[in-house]
Amino acid sequence: MRVIDEEGRQLGVLTVKEALTAATERTLDLIEIVPTADPPVCKIMDFGKYKYELAKKEKLQKKHQHITLVKEIRFHPNTDTHDFEFKVRHARAFIEEGHKVKATVVFKGREITYQDQGRAMLNSFTERLEDIAKVDASAKMEGRQMIAYYVADKTKKKTTEGSKQTTEST
């Protein structure tokens, strides 16, 4: 196995017995770092310190991770224009935060006969969001619901930010 000492210098390829004696002479542990390498790589260091550094790396990676949630906006075929605009503003806020938006038109009872109104509502919703979002999944019926998914369009977001900066500077 290839052995590295506590300062990062390579001691070379040693047998397991030689590596263990080198670690015990320094009153440290022999830790296998890369078991899949040929030969496997081991490092002489304090095991507690090694575990602490691994935990710190994992915590930092989790901190920089962004979890995308799916936010749902629900309509009916006869939703009023004010309510529709209010829900569009909410959807814009969700998309700007980086979330996915699920727009659902729910048909109750005999409203199922007005699927064309539901499709028109989702088309209008798409038009209002087209400057910051793109359609991830187009409108389709699932039971008594018509569903469409929207995600943030990073290319459109950059172009709108660029145009805002040029208008502010003039």
Q: Which domain holds residue 21?
A: 2-62
Q: What's the CATH number where 145 sits?
A: 3.30.110.10
Residues 50 and 81 in one domain: no
Residues 39 and 90 in one domain: no
Q: Using N-to-C axis directions, what is the helix angle for 81-96 and 115-129, rounded to 10°?
A: 50
Burial-class residue 169 by CB neighbours within 10 Å (0-12, 13-18, 19+): exposed
Task: Kindly report the length of the chain.
Answer: 170
Ranges of beta strands (E only) in 5-162 are: 10-13, 29-34, 41-45, 70-75, 100-106, 133-142, 145-152
Distance CA(81)–CA(42), nearest Å, equals 67
For residue range 109-140, list pLDDT tens digits in order: 998 998 999 999 999 999 999 899 989 888 89
Residues 131 and 51 in one domain: no
Residues 36 and 74 in one domain: no
Q: What is the pLDDT of residue 65?
A: 76
Q: What is the pLDDT of residue 170?
A: 55
Distance CA(153)–CA(29), nearest Å, equals 50
Residues 33 and 92 in one domain: no
Confidence of residue 98 (pLDDT cuts 50, 70, 90): confident
Number of domains into which the chain is organized: 2
Q: Is the pLDDT of residue 159 over 60?
A: no
Residues 58 and 80 in one domain: no
Q: Which structure tokens are listed for 49?
A: 């310190």
Residue (of 67, 78, 125) closest to 100 by Cα position: 67
Q: Is the pLDDT of residue 158 over 80?
A: no
Q: Which structure tokens are listed for 2?
A: 């290839």
Q: Is the pLDDT of residue 167 over 60?
A: no
Rounded to two decimals, the pTM is 0.56
